[in-house]
């Protein structure tokens, strides 16, 4: 069977599974809609958290970044992994004990202010919509290549599926759908990685094949060959970094602390019965995440080596376009690969300098990897199903955050406190529907490639939420005035910096020499975070202390006693 036939079969079966789960898990209460009733098993929650966490950026774009950036791409790997550990150990158990399942709810009650709650709602919407743009672009890329439809049509298909199980099943439907999506995406990621590791190095374990000698009998290590190829083509050595130390540090830290402020990940710790279960599910999630994250550098290396060999030919002099392997014309149809015959020899050639004739979008590297390696059609189709699972799982979690921010944190807590549970549930579903439509538009007209857009979202979360959450848990002196000014200033500075350098300044102006302290827009969230911390602490010290009951509440959530089931939403 053809790749397209296999894709229709595998993607169709996976979508049928997701829809079936959504119908089975349809909800009838706000507690089920927001936190899945609080009764999810820790292992299932760990798998759902891993799927929620491993977005299109992790599945589609991270290995592509590493493949093109080499050593410098490790900042994404380190930042996202370290950030999850930071969230699981430092923040999640305390937030879980506090009993507020949304970040705006925590901010509003901890800082005893509807203004603080409103600022947090705005931050949550800003971060979530930025993040979901990357997911919907990932959906469009997968559909456009493997189902041979344009990106707009692909995004609309994705919107319809997410709408069905997010609006119908809420967090309950999303949770069990994400369990299935984790199984699909990890199987789809590992199968081609194992195949290619065996082909290139003879080692079936990608993590070990990555550091092994090639199977051609030359005795050359895979990374040594990549270093040599990169340098011969005008690139920096694959294992050398070119980014400045300050930028590497800031991007990594921004991704770490941004993770700790991501509302769609935090809410997952409220779907289990007890605080102990939240810690256990965090451990399981880290294990499930590690399977993909430790494989990504190997996938990146395999893909780059195969890509260069395929385009430049075994003799390194280029491959005739008329003899190009099928993956090149297939991806050309999506507009993500282009060839320009500069010297008129009819041959393709990939390099960094003036010899280069290929334009290659880094977002295709994981998806095209099985095709480049000439793996069976069913493996190529499997990677499509995995990419869709990764993008849709995170998109669903983000859409629920947007829905709850509008229906619970804004409507119930600020605008209409006397709203009934049934009315709130309908408001949540309507908000989710509108959010799906906006997310689709962002996917059709994205502000950048997948991982870059997601990196911006992490920077915005780092600059806005992380200080407010950390100080809210560990500093009982921080008050409403400090938190509000800090969040506004941190978010405003980071947004302005990103917008200026990415959308207003001329491309030649977006260089390290013009960046503040040499920090790129992807890492500027750290400076926004420091501004937030400084203002929140300073203003809190010169204004009135929080009420005594708030200070006692802060003390109580750090005491590891009396942690029971989450209270029903109506009690908050």
Per the CB < 8 A criterion, the answer to whether 364 and 141 are in contact is yes
What pLDDT score does 564 carry? 45
Non-local (6+) Cβ contacts of 222 within 8 A are: 200, 201, 209, 210, 211, 212, 213, 214, 301, 305
Reported as a pLDDT band with limits 50, 70 and 90, residue 385 is: confident
Domains present along the chain, CATH in parentheses: 3-303+375-447 (1.10.4160.10)
Per mean pLDDT, which range of 77-86, 169-178, 417-426, 493-502 is the poorest? 169-178
Reported as a pLDDT band with limits 50, 70 and 90, residue 481 is: very high
Mean pLDDT for the stretch of residues 204-225:
89
Per mean pLDDT, which range of 108-112, 398-402, 466-470 is the poorest? 398-402
* HSE-CB of 518 using CA atoms within 13 angstroms: 8
What pLDDT score does 478 carry? 92
Mean pLDDT for the stretch of residues 21-43:
68
What percentage of residues in the chain have a pLDDT greater than 70?
A: 91
Question: pLDDT tens-digit profile of 437-454?
Answer: 887 887 777 655 445 566
Whether residue 559 is predicted with pLDDT greater than 50 in this model: the reply is: yes
- Compute the distance between CA of residue 366 and CA of residue 515 in angstroms, rounded to an integer: 31
Non-local (6+) Cβ contacts of 514 within 8 A are: 501, 505
What pLDDT score does 206 carry? 92
Per mean pLDDT, which range of 20-34, 298-312, 485-499 is the poorest? 20-34
| Torsional class of 562: left (φ above 0), alpha (ψ -120 to 50), beta (otherwise) | left
Give the β-pairing of 337-339 and 319-320. unpaired
Highest mean pLDDT among 146-150, 356-360, 562-566: 356-360
Highest mean pLDDT among 105-119, 286-300, 411-425, 448-462: 286-300
What percentage of residues in the chain have a pLDDT greater than 90?
A: 13
Question: pLDDT tens-digit profile of 115-169?
Answer: 888 888 887 787 777 777 777 777 777 777 777 777 778 788 777 777 776 666 6
Whether residue 565 is predicted with pLDDT greater than 50 in this model: the reply is: no
Residues 149, 150, 151: CA angle, nearest 5 degrees:
120
């Amino acid at each position: 069977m053809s790749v397209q036939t296999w894709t229709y079969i595998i993607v169709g079966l996976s979508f049928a599974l997701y829809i079936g789960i959504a119908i089975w898990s349809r909800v009838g209460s706000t507690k089920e809609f927001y936190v899945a009733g609080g009764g999810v098993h820790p292992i299932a929650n760990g798998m759902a958290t891993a799927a929620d966490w491993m977005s299109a950026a992790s599945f589609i774009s991270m290995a592509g970044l590493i493949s093109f950036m080499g050593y410098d791409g490790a900042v994404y790997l380190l930042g996202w992994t370290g950030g999850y550990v930071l969230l699981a150990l430092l923040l999640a158990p305390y937030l879980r004990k506090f009993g507020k399942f949304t970040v705006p709810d925590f901010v509003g009650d901890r800082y005893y202010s509807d203004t603080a709650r409103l600022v947090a709602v705005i931050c949550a919407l800003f971060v979530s919509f930025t993040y979901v743009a990357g997911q919907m672009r990932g959906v469009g890329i997968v559909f456009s290549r493997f189902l041979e439809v344009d990106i707009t049509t692909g995004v609309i298909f994705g919107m319809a599926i997410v709408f069905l199980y997010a609006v119908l099943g809420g967090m309950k439907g999303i949770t069990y759908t994400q369990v299935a999506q984790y199984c699909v995406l990890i199987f789809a990621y590992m199968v081609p990685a194992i195949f290619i590791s065996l082909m290139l190095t003879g080692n079936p374990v990608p993590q070990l094949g990555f550091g092994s000698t090639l199977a051609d009998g030359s005795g050359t290590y895979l990374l040594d060959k990549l270093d040599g190829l990169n340098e011969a083509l005008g690139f920096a050595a694959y294992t050398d970094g070119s980014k400045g130390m300050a930028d590497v540090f800031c991007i990594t830290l921004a991704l770490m602390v941004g993770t700790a402020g991501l509302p769609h990940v935090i809410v997952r710790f409220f779907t289990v019965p007890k605080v102990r279960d939240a810690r256990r599910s965090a451990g399981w999630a880290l294990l499930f995440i590690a399977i993909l994250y430790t494989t990504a550098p190997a996938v990146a290396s395999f893909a780059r080596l195969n890509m260069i060999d395929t385009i430049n030919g075994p003799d390194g002099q280029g491959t005739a376009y008329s003899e190009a392997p099928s993956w090149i014309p297939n991806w050309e149809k999506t507009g993500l690969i282009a060839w320009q015959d500069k010297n008129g020899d009819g041959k393709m050639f990939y390099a960094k300098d003036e010899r280069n004739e290929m334009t290659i979008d880094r977002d295709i590297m994981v998806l095209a990897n099985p095709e480049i390696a000439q793996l069976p059609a069913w493996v190529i189709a499997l990677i499509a199903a995995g990419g869709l699972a990764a993008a849709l799982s995170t998109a669903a979690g983000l859409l629920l955050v947007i829905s709850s921010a509008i229906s619970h944190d804004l409507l119930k807590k600020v605008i209409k406190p006397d709203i009934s549970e049934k009315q709130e549930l309908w408001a949540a579903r309507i908000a989710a529907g509108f959010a799906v439509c906006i997310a689709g538009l962002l996917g059709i007209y994205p502000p950048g490639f997948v991982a870059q857009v997601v990196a911006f979202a992490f920077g915005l979360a780092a600059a806005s939420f992380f200080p407010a959450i950390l100080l809210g848990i560990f500093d009982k002196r921080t008050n409403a005035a400090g938190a509000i000014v800090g969040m506004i200033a941190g978010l405003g500075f980071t947004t302005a910096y990103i917008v200026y350098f990415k959308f207003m300044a001329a491309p030649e102006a977006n260089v390290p020499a013009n960046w503040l302290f040499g920090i790129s827009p992807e890492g500027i969230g750290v400076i926004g975070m420091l501004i937030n911390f400084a203002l929140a602490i300073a203003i809190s010290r010169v204004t009135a202390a929080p009420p005594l009951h708030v200070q006692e509440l802060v003390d109580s959530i750090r005491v590891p006693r009396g942690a029971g089931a989450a209270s029903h939403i109506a009690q908050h």
